[in-house]
Amino acid sequence: MASKFHLKKASDGQFHFNLLAGNGEIILTSELYKAKDSALNGIESVRKNIAREGAFEVKATSNGKHHFVLKASNGQVIGQSQMYSTPASCEQGVQSVTKNAPAATLQDDS
């Protein structure tokens, strides 16, 4: 299975997407968007920003878990990861997004 962006419509009418690795695991979840075109622009923003220095920010929680956020050049959060148990596994998540996003196809279930 190839990597893909899975676009969905939430129960409140807003749109969001997940980036799935080739094994089907969710590696990035977007923020909510009011319009479908905005969500599609968010996908393109992921593709554009993954190569930008400083786009990923790794964060630690008070319980010792780690996650990352991907930010646009204006500082707005585009997407975030799941929680990881170690900084190294979190960094592997960043690398997975960087590897999978450029060639990911779009599955539109909105």
Q: Which pair of structure tokens corresponds to residue 13?
A: 């009418």
Q: Are 8 and 20 in contact (CB under 8 A)?
A: no
Predicted confidence at residue 62, as pLDDT, reads: 87
In a domain, 110, yes or no: no
**Tally of structural domains, the chain:** 1
What separation, in Å, do the N-terminal and C-terminal C-alpha atoms of the chain show? 21
Q: Are 55 and 1 in contact (CB under 8 A)?
A: no
Instruction: Give pLDDT tens digits for 63-93.
Output: 889 999 999 999 999 999 999 999 999 999 9
Given the structure tokens 């959060």, which residue do they identify? 77
Q: Which domain holds residue 94?
A: 4-105
Can you spell out the DSSP letters for 27-58?
Answer: EEEEPPBSSHHHHHHHHHHHHHHTTSTT-EEE
* pTM of this structure: 0.92
